[in-house]
Structure 1
Amino acid sequence: MPIRSDTRKKPTCNRFKTKMKLALLGLVAVSSGAFAQPSLSLNDAVSLTLAQHPQLKKYAYQREAAKGMMQQAGVSTPVNINLDVEDVIGTGSYSGLSAMQTTLSISWLLEDEILKSRVKVAGEQAQASDLARQGEALDLAAETAAIFITLLAQKEQLKLAKLAEAQAKKVLENITVRMKAGKSNLVDQLRAKAALSQKALVVEDLNHEVKASRAQLAAQWQGDADIQISGSLQDIPSIEALNATDEKLKNHPRLKTFAARQRLAQAEIALAKVTEEPAWKINTGFKRNEQLNDFAFTVGISIPFGSENRNQGKILALQAQQNEQQAQADAWYQGISTRILLLTHKLKHNRHVIQGLGSETIPTLELANVKAGQAYRTGSYSYTDWYAVQQELLAAQTKLITAYANIHLNKIELERLTGASISH
């Protein structure tokens, strides 16, 4: 849900000046129903997402599957016990089986090196799956945090809209009184009525946006849409906290995933090499002649025929995959580093916006709004000019909320890109 950036908000009169400052400078979103149920912080929302989001459930099954594959990879070829009964033509009292020969044979493969390679492949596959889960969890945590911050900003905009609506009502009342006294005209009253109706529509629109964002946030952990949240947009990151991004980036799950895929390809290459030559098979056993009631020990070696380089094509393909993963890792690192640099500049810019609006622009416009209202009531200033001042103040106040929200959204994206934990 995008942050609203339009300026169709409400003028602010002197009577609501103190409340407006509380709304903009306090910037604390606490629902009126907070006493009915506990409110959620950003950390609470992220924790619920990581614990209950449907997309992360599949990794629990993948983890169990990986354990099974590792266990299976370490199991050697099972011992085969074959009981062969051969019917020998002859006469006797054995119902046509007067002469029988039974062979008990045991066979196995010389595969110790193959087993180790298979276990190595299974282990690398399990690690790759775990890193994939870390990467997806990081994305979902950032998504949840972004929705949370958007909801906080929408609630602040709603406060501002309601204050502007109340101020518009007060202005209309004043104009109506002045018109009855012959100090104002019908045009001003009609314009004030139209302005009030617009303010009411903005309040209604923001109410719907807040409701939709609540539902979107709760959907992250399949929870109740009637949730309450609490938080402050004023808690912005320090510049010092941004200097460690390069070190964090090197430990990002995505970057580790590329390395894990390279190791997996290397393990599969090793397995392909040890299985390149067909395995010899040894057979031993005992043979019994039923007619003579005699036993004999037997032994044999099966030497399969086949090319010794039958896996060369597979090995070449796996080596190409290794190189591809390295190229992707280099491209990913370069791209993310550039995006981090841009986000850092955006964070600094939003800090300057907050400082400029809070220390100069808004205080100046608040004073101008007060003076314009006084001048209008004395008949020395037009309603059109007063209304323009009110809209300029409203636009600046809205921009301040947006700047606070943007600095948090940029921080969340920065944490996602660097692989840092999403927190507030």
Structure 2
Amino acid sequence: MQARNIIVAFLLGSLPLLSWADSPPSPIQDSTQTSQDINTSTVLALEDAIAFTLKNNPLLYQYHFRHQSLMAQREASSLSPALELGIEIENIAGSGEFNGVDSAETTLALSSVIELGAKARSRVAVVDARSDRLNFERQAATLDVLGELTALFIRTLATQESIALSKEAAALSERMLKTVRQRASKGAAPEAEVMRAKAALIRASVRLNAQHSSFERQRMALSSFWGSTNPHFSTLSGSLSVLDASGDFASLLQRAQRSPAIAIFASEARLKDAEVKLAQAQSRVDIGWQLGVRRFEETDDTAFTAGISIPLFSGKRNHGAVTSALAERNAVDYQQVDAQLKLHNRLFTAFSQRKENTAAVKQFSSQILPALEQALNLTRQAYETGRYRYQDWIAAQEELLTAKQQHIEAATAAQLNQALIEQLIAEPLTTDNLPY
């Protein structure tokens, strides 16, 4: 399964990697053993990293326990008011004829409350709405985690390509040093050029070491997404230069409106509607009732007792709660409008930057890099025959290496913007020619 298909499958609920029924892994575990269990290859693909993260990411499992809590709340909310058994003894330990217990009156009563206004159903509706919102929160949080993972994977892949470029730069510097030494031995080049060529080779080695260190840090950060502190992969698979067609902005925006980040507000509105109905139901009075048996100790007689109680002015006392619930419900509409505006801006920025970066990648690949590679070959040949200076060769080589690094950076930016677009729309741009 490809990486973006994994995300779509998760959103559609068809991927059983993280469901409400799953038992989360223990928070205290042997991270080395976990890493060995899931990292069976030294090459890591993005789809594998996503699968590991969905199965083992500690952050995502908090929703498992929040769901359990809501299910317990739903069970409690559906219960009717409890029955109460009470006993009351009167006319004891007094004075005169009420001295002792001969005149005692003992009442054994069963009491409860009759809820009016379908309060139990309203409470359950609130919990169900919270559960619905939690599901969208989980989806949005998963997209955020997978978005962060994908972005880090892309940056790590860029570092890996930069390492390959640094190795190429070191090889070019080594070849340059060899050529300059040969010319210097024949008296055709000054010794200063040999020293400069040596320094260039050392600088290339320093850059290569720094990039290796950066790659190690990124490997560790990637492994942390699935709870491992001991990464066992050594390389990443993928190419930064494979880019999908993004389509037009209007269609992307339409798809983004259906994403969990926006759907949360619809579920939030349903929750607030349920809370308003519950607050309104609480304004309806509850009737308390009591049935019992009273025993008169003095005459050894018994009698039944019955009673009801109705609270006064409950609707007026609950007016503030209803007003507060209505205000919170109205605020959700404005929060959704604000979120949609922010979504529009983020999506357009990512779309525009990706379009710009994609055009740059194509120009580097088709025009700039071939021209500079040819220029470097011609300059090297001219230097070897004494027609060009050492500075000309250095300049041509630096121009090519700089352009290749810019090509990597443009491709990285394009992939990062593509990952952000897919995170915002919660869908792949296309299911064909996936870059990973």
In 2, Cα distance between equivalents of 1:277 and 1:66: 26
Say which of 120, 123, 136 aligns to 2:141: 136
Looking at structure 2, the residues matched to 145 and 239 of structure 1 have their Cα atoms a distance apart, in angstroms, of 18
CA offsets, 1:19-67, max 9 Å, x none? xxxxxxxxxxxxxxxx983422111112222222222221111110000
Q: Secondary structure at the match of 1:338?
A: helix
**What SS class does the counterpart of residue 308 from structure 1 fall into?**
helix
Q: After the TM superposition, which residues 207-246 of structure 1 pair with which residues of structure 2 at under 5 Å, given as runs?
A: 207-223=212-228, 224-228=230-234, 229-240=236-247, 244-246=251-253
- Match of residue 111 from structure 1: 115
1:392 to 372, 386, 399: 399
1:63 aligns with one of 51, 64, 67: 67
Q: Does 1:85 align with 2:115?
A: no
Deviations 1:281-321 (A, max 9, x none): 12122223344343322211112234531122222222221
The count of aligned residue pairs is 387
- The code of the aligned residue for 1:275 comes to Q
1:281 aligns with 2:294: no
Identity of aligned residues (%): 28
Residue 75 of structure 1 and its aligned partner are, at CA, apart by 0.8
Q: Are 1:256 and 2:267 counterparts?
A: no
Gaps of 5+ in 1: 1-34
Q: 1:88 to 1:179 in 2, by over 3 A?
A: closer
Q: For residue 188 of structure 2, what is the aligned residue in structure 1?
A: 183
Question: Residues of 1 paired with 2:40 and 2:202: CA distance?
Answer: 32
Partners of 1:270 and 1:164 in 2: CA distance: 70
For residues 94 and 214 of structure 2, the distance between their equivalents in structure 1, rounded to whole angstroms, comes to 95
Q: How does 1:159-198 map to 2 (within 5 A)?
A: 159-198=164-203
| Secondary structure at the counterpart of residue 235 of structure 1 | coil
**CA separation in 2, counterparts of 1:53 and 1:243?**
34
Q: Does 1:312 align with 2:316?
A: no
Deviations along 1:74-125, whole A, 9 cap, x unmatched? 111111111233354799xxx9433443322122212151111111111112
Alignment of 1:152 with 2:164, yes or no, is no
Measured in 2, the distance between the counterparts of 1:83 and 1:311 equals: 32
1:374 partner letter: Q
Q: Report the CA distance shift for 1:259/1:83 in structure 2 as closer, same or farther (over 3 A).
A: same
Distance in 2, Cα, partners of 1:395 & 1:90: 103
Residues in 2 aligned to 1:376 and 1:152: alpha-carbon distance in whole angstroms: 36
Per the normalisation by structure 2, the TM-score is: 0.83
Q: 2:29 is matched with which residue?
A: none
Q: Which amino acid aligns with 2:143?
A: L
233-242 or 313-322: bigger deviation: 233-242
Is the Cα–Cα contact under 8 Å of residues 218 and 227 in structure 1 kept in the other structure?
no
What amino acid is aligned across from residue 67 of structure 2 in structure 1?
Answer: R
CA contact (8 A) 1:90 1:98 kept: no
Where does 1:43-54 land on structure 2 (aligned, <5 Å)? 43-54=47-58
1:301 counterpart SS class: strand
In the alignment, what sits opposite 1:292?
A: 299
Residue 355 of structure 2: aligned partner: 348
Which residue identity lines up with residue 79 of structure 1 in the other structure? L
Q: Does 1:374 align with 2:378?
A: no
Match of 1:387, SS? Answer: helix
The range that moved more, 75-84 or 272-281, is 272-281
Query: Which of 378-387 and 257-266 deviates more?
Result: 257-266
Tell me which residue corresponds to 1:206: 211
1:193 Cα deviation after fit? 1.3
Partner deviation per Cα, 1:154-179 (whole Å, 9 max, x = no partner): 11110110111011011111111111
**Paired AA for residue 103 in structure 1:** T
Whether the 8 Å contact between 1:353 and 1:403 is mirrored in structure 2 is: yes
**Aligned mates of 2:160, 2:42 — CA distance in 1:** 17
> 1:359 and 1:259 mapped to 2: Cα distance?
47
- How far apart in 2 are the matches of 1:307 and 1:57? 42
3-state SS in 2 of match to 1:282: strand
Change (3 A) 1:241 1:64: farther
Task: Provide the rounded CA distance (Å) in 2 between the counterparts of 1:192 and 1:390.
Answer: 12
Tell me which moved more, 251-260 or 195-204: 251-260
Of 316, 320, 333, 2:340 maps to 333
Take 1:212 and 1:266, find their aligned partners in 2: how far apart are those partners?
48
Structure 1 stretch displaced more, 238-247 or 113-122 = 238-247
In the TM superposition, residue 234 of structure 1 has moved relative to its aligned partner by 3.3
CA contact (8 A) 2:56 2:226 kept: yes
Alpha carbons of structure 1 residues 351 and 294: separation in structure 2 relative to 1, 3 Å:
same
CA distances 1:193-248 after superposition (whole Å, capped 9, x unpaired)? 11111111110111011111101111111222342332222332223497742333
Is the contact made by 2:111 and 2:290 (CA closer than 8 Å) also made in structure 1?
A: yes
Give secondary structure in 2 for the equivalent of 1:309.
Answer: helix
Judge conservation of contact 1:49–1:221 (CA < 8 Å) in 2.
yes
Q: Which residue of 1 aligns with 2:28?
A: none
